[in-house]
Structure formats: structure tokens, C-alpha cells
Amino acid sequence: MNKYKGRGCSRRRDAATGWRALVHKMSYLSALQGMSLEQIRSVIEIMQQSSDAYMYILDLNMDIYMLAEKATKRFPFHSTVIENCTETLKKIIYPSDYEMVAADIEKCRSGEQDNHTLEYRWLDRMGRVVWISCRGTVVTGTEGHRLLIGSVSELGTKAKADNITGLRREARFRLNMESTLRDQPETVRYLMRVGIDNFKEINEKEGVEAGDEVLRELAECMIKTVDESVDIYRLVADEFMIVDTGKGEVKDPGAIYRQIQRTIAATAKNKEYSRFYTVSAGVIEGDFSGTTVEEIMRFTEFALNEAKRNGRNQMVAFDRAAYDVYLERLDIRKLLRQDVSHDFRGFEVYYQPIVSAEDYRLIGAEALLRWKNEKFGNVSPAVFIPVLEESGLIIPVGQYVLWEAARMCKKWKEYIPEFHINVNLSYVQLYKSDMMRDVERCIEEVGLDPESLVLELTESGYIETNDRIKELFKDLKSRKIDLALDDFGTGYSNMRYLKEIDAKTVKIDRTFVVQALKNEYDYNIISHIIDMVHSLGSVVCMEGIEEKEELSKMMATKPDMIQGYYFGKPTPAGQFEKEFLETTGSP
Ligand code: C2E
Ligand code: MG
Ligand code: MG
């Protein structure tokens, strides 16, 4: 005699098998109606043994809640049988979720629905937020008695919610976002990915518990800042995603971000600055139709990384054009790597003449790297050199340039004995490779006298601060290898560097020369700089002279050497030889 029969069970086929089994089992318990609460409780415990979820029976008419003992250990239920269920649940359900849950249960009670399937928050015994998934089905008895039978599972155990911050996790974000993007992409206003600056440092220096505390604190700051309609998820490690799906008031994400910053600062102040951290954010707004979750993850990650690259503690809006440049750089990096590993395929060293300002005779050349490939054609050094530097590939490529240039110089000295070759050096080579050994080996094996080699270094703040670099300069000097301070006038332009690196040559950059050609003030500065360089015992090479008029005007500032299109553009070795050396008649 079955007194209870399940209804509406088929609506969700994936409903927890736990309650299905429970209902099934109970339907054979003919004596159920006559069972004591204690007996029903035992049934729950038996069923519970085979599940991680917390089994429950809610008597909708009597307002009695019976649940597995395991649940009472984790959540503040005073007993496994709760008679005044509504009052108790009010304390356990996260306050702002309560109304939604109560309304759903009411529908089960009134007969409007037979299923209860909701995700919401409970508070555990420590008062911490725990995301749960509550599923149940109404079972009706002969006298219209309604029981809701089901289970509660913690989303955290399925990596869908995070018990440190009480927020839902990436898996849940992806699921929710997928359906929003599919069904109502127009409702999405913005997504903001927030990351803690230096989180790794906090974990390493203060321990994982301190890290967890910061995560919890930040989650609270964000919850305080956005309104209830805005969702917050915890992604990997120290990153969060704020999602505005247009349910509340329109708010500018920039203002939200600044408010989060202020709340963090205020919290730090309240805690007497025992710990201080900042956050960066990457935000994406606009039209989301046709956008996938994967794209959102990549775009927001890119914007957040930009914020961190730009110095942290700031928000950056996703910029499609910048992202495309970034993708192109990744592509370039891949191609560069392939070409380097194929014996420097696509690379070539060009040479640009350097003439004496005295009589415009050829005295040397600067080795300038070129790279071309099928996909991009000729790529500018301004694009590929930074990629080589970032990837460390500048170390093998720099060696390749050094060897090529040294060999050519050795050959060309047969035409012009005083010929010297200038090779550009990157700071990455200085920091991360044994430059001194490479240079020594090269000049020795090629048989080039060290005075013929000039290493060009861009002026920058590194020189001042790095002792290892200073040491290297001394070593180079002691081996009679000259240094040139490149791009003077574009950066720090500090005469102190000259002294620090004891550079024999200062190369004045074309941008500075162009300024000087346009206005008298810059012209006078260049003139004074050249005087100063001379008084320090160094010489000046003026770069970027393109026209005859430019030459005559700049000659009055008394440079020692000139390099520019007027005397010759960078060309391949063979052409350089033909154009500039064979004409000299020897060897
Ligand atoms: P840089 O060392 O200052 O080289 C001079 C740049 O000015 C060269 O650009 C040259 O082609 C250009 N230039 C010379 N005369 C004129 C002129 O009259 N007018 C104009 N408009 N430009 C002129 P390029 O070859 O594009 O190289 C750009 C930069 O790339 C170089 O600037 C250097 O910093 C870097 N680079 C090139 N080759 C290497 C290399 O082998 N290693 C490293 N680390 N950097 C390199
Ligand atoms: Mg240079
Ligand atoms: Mg230069």
C-alpha cells in the first residue's frame, strides 16, 4: 500500500540520485505514515551514508525539517529535527537570499510547484558564506500532506563555490555566463576582472592563511561596493570577476573600481595598516552578442595584465586594437623562435656608413639587424627587437650579429685600416648572458683587434643602479673595447652616464637632431652638449642626417662623426662593400 507517490520527478533528469533513492525506498515503507520522527531520521542517516550531499525531508504542512546529522556539524542547526523550520532557516540562509528561497518553498507548500531547485547561500557555524545547491521534490500523502524530500550539496566541493570567500567559482561563472550570452547577451553591461597586486608576495611572506584572509577581505569589500544584482565570482588564485547583467541601477565600472579601492584603503586603515594591498582591474563593456565565455576570459585577462604592466593599482578597459597588436606579437615571437632555431633563417645584418665629420671619409659602420618572413614581410626592428628581448632570444641573435659584424669588419679593414664596426647591445644580453666571454671569444676567433669594435648601449636608468653592468664596462674598457652611448637625447640624457660607462662616443639621436633643426633652443642645447662631451674627452656621432642643408646647419655644432641617409642607408654586406668600399680602390 503506497501512501506516498512522487510527482514531477522527471522535470530534471539530473536530480540527485540520493533523494530519488530515498523517495523510492520510502514509497515501499508502508508504515511510513505511522513512523516516528526518530525512525524517519534513521532512514535519512542510512541514505546519507551513500552521499556527500545532506539529505533532508521538509514537512511543508507541519513546518518540520529533518536532516542528516552531518549537516548539523557544518551548519548551526541545533538538532536533526527542527520543529520551527521557518525561523531556523531564516538564521541559516544568507539574509539577501532568504526571500527568494521562502517564496520558492511557499510555491511547493501551496501546490503551485512540485520541485525545488535553487542555488543560494547558507551561513556555516563560523558565520561564513557557503554556496549550496538545494534540490527537492514534493511527495504528497493520501490526506494531501506535502513533504519536500531532497538533498543539499555544497557547490564548493564541486569547485563551483569557494569556501574561503563565500563566492561562486569559475566553473559556475562559466555555466551562468554561457547561458546569459546565449539567451540575453544584451543584458550584460560590463565584466570586471579584479586581481590582487603582489598576492604571491603576501602568500610567501606572510603565509597562506594571510593570503586567505586578504581574499576574504577583498571579497567583502567588493560585495559592499556593488549592489545585490551584480554577481561576483572567484576565479583562479587571486582573481575575481564582477558581472553586471543589467538587473540593477546603471553604474560606471570605473566608479565601482575606485570605490573598491577606497573600501580596501578604509579597511586597511581600520586595521591600523597591519597589512596593505592594492588591486588592479581589467574591464570589458559594450556589445556582447556573439561573444563566447572563452573570449571574455581572454579579453579580461589581457586588460588586467595591461593594468599590471602599466604599474598596477589601476583599471584598464579592454582595447581590441591593443589586443590585436598583442596577438601579433605572440605570433611574431613564435616565428622568431622558429627562425632562430633554423640557423637564423630570415635574419640579415645590414650596415650603415659612419663618416668622419672632418672630411666625410668612411671610417666605420653600424651593424643593424633585419628580419623578414613570409607572413609579415620585412618587420621593423622597432617591432621585433623588443620581442626578441622579452623572450630572451636576443641572446643568441645578439651573438649572431656580433659574429657577422666582426667578420665583415675584419674583411673591410683591408680596405680602410681605421675601420670600426658598431654593434648594438641590449640590456638583456648584459644581464642574462656572459657578454664578456662572448665578446672575447668572438674577437679572438675572428682575429679582430678589439679597438675596431664599438658596443652601442641605449642610455637608461639601468646603468646607474646596476653594479654588475658597471663591472662589465670596466672589463670592456680594460680590454680596449669602446662603448657608445646610443640614442642620446631621447631618454634620461644624463651626462652622468657618460662618466659612469666611460663611453668614448655619444650618439645623438635623430629625433633630437630634428628638433634642433626646427628650433634654436634645441639647437643651442645640442651645441652645448657637444662642447661638454668634448670637455670630458669623448666624441660625438650625429645620427639621422638626411639632407645636405641639415648637414651644413648641424656641422656648426662640431660633431666628430656623422651617420645618416645622406651618406648612406643601411644595406646588406655585399652592397655595402660595392658601394662604399670597392670605390676606395684597395685592397
Ligand atoms: P639605433 O641603434 O639608434 O640605429 C639607428 C637607427 O636610425 C637605424 O634604424 C637606422 O636605420 C636609422 N637611421 C639612420 N640614419 C637615418 C636617417 O638619416 N633618417 C632616419 N629616419 N633614420 C635613420 P633601424 O635599423 O630601424 O634600427 C632601429 C633600432 O633597432 C636601432 O636604433 C637599435 O636600437 C635597434 N637595433 C637594430 N639592430 C639591432 C641589433 O642588432 N641589436 C640590438 N640590440 N638592437 C638593434
Ligand atoms: Mg645604435
Ligand atoms: Mg641610435
Which atom from ligand 1 is nearest to the alpha carbon of 425? Answer: 44
Which atom from ligand 1 is nearest to the alpha carbon of 563? Answer: 15
- pTM flag (> 0.85): no
Confidence of residue 25 (pLDDT cuts 50, 70, 90): very low
How far the first Cα of the chain sits from its last, in Å, is 116
Task: Give pLDDT tens digits for 116-128.
Answer: 999 999 999 988 8
In angstroms, what is the span from residue 489 Cα to ligand 1's centroid?
Answer: 15
For cell 646610443, the residue is: 486
Tell me the helix, strand and coil percentages in the chain, rounded to 5. 50, 25, 30
Task: Give pLDDT tens digits for 161-198.
Answer: 787 888 999 988 998 999 899 999 999 999 999 999 98
Contact call for residues 329 and 388 (beta carbons, < 8 A): no
Grid cell at residue 118: 535553487
Minimum CA distance residue for ligand 1 atom 37 = 368
In angstroms, what is the span from residue 575 Cα to ligand 2's centroid?
Answer: 20
Q: Which of 95-99, 337-341, 470-474 has the lowest mean pLDDT?
A: 470-474
Which ligand does the CA of 488 lie closest to? 3
Tell me how far apart the alpha carbons of residues 507 and 541 are, in angstroms, rounded to a whole number: 5
Contact call for residues 481 and 444 (beta carbons, < 8 A): no
Give me the residues paired with residue 196 across strands. Answer: 279
In angstroms, what is the span from residue 485 Cα to ligand 1's centroid?
Answer: 13
Which atom from ligand 1 is nearest to the alpha carbon of 458? Answer: 34
The alpha carbon dihedral of 182, 185, 188, 190 has a sign of: positive
3-state secondary structure of 49: coil
- 391: Cα separation from own chain's centroid: 16
For the chain, what is the mean pLDDT? 88
Tell me how far apart the alpha carbons of residues 432 and 281 are, in angstroms, rounded to a whole number: 32
Helices (H) and strands (E) in the chain, counts: 22, 23
Tell me how far apart the alpha carbons of residues 207 and 201 are, in angstroms, rounded to a whole number: 9
Minimum CA distance residue for ligand 1 atom 17 = 544
pLDDT above 70 coverage of the chain, percent: 88
Minimum CA distance residue for ligand 1 atom 30 = 381
| Residues bordering ligand 3, an ion, CB closer than 5 Å | 486-487, 507
Q: Any residues with Cβ below 6 Å from ligand 1, and which?
A: 352, 368-369, 380-382, 385, 398, 401, 424-426, 456, 486-487, 510, 543-546, 563-565, 570
For cell 533532508, the residue is: 56
In angstroms, what is the span from residue 456 Cα to ligand 2's centroid?
Answer: 6
Phi, psi of 278 (to 5 degrees): -125, 165
Smallest Cα–Cα separation from 306: which of 226, 193, 208?
A: 193
Minimum CA distance residue for ligand 1 atom 43 = 424
Tell me how far apart the alpha carbons of residues 131 and 152 are, in angstroms, rounded to a whole number: 10
Burial-class residue 303 by CB neighbours within 10 Å (0-12, 13-18, 19+).
buried
Q: What is the pLDDT of residue 271?
A: 83
The conformational region for residue 161 under phi > 0 = left, psi -120 to 50 = alpha, else beta, is beta
Which amino acid is located at 471 in the chain? E
Identify which of 370, 385, 433, 541 to mutate to test ligand 1's pocket (most ligand atoms within 8 A of the CB). 385
Residue 494 has pLDDT above 90, yes or no: no
Residue 431 has pLDDT above 90, yes or no: no
Tell me how far apart the alpha carbons of residues 544 and 536 are, in angstroms, rounded to a whole number: 24
Confidence of residue 306 (pLDDT cuts 50, 70, 90): very high
Residue 152 to residues 18, 115, 121, 165, Cα–Cα distance (Å): 10, 14, 11, 20
H or E stretch including 575? Answer: helix 573-576
In angstroms, what is the span from residue 368 Cα to ligand 1's centroid?
Answer: 6
For cell 626578441, the residue is: 388
Minimum CA distance residue for ligand 1 atom 41 = 369
Tell me how far apart the alpha carbons of residues 20 and 102 are, in angstroms, rounded to a whole number: 23
In angstroms, what is the span from residue 369 Cα to ligand 1's centroid?
Answer: 8
Q: Which of 279-288, 298-307, 377-386, 491-500 has the lowest mean pLDDT?
A: 491-500
In angstroms, what is the span from residue 366 Cα to ligand 3's centroid?
Answer: 9
Grid cell at residue 225: 561596493
Which amino acid is located at 59 in the chain? D
Phi, psi of 65 (to 5 degrees): -120, 125
In angstroms, what is the span from residue 567 Cα to ligand 1's centroid?
Answer: 15
3-state secondary structure of 429: helix
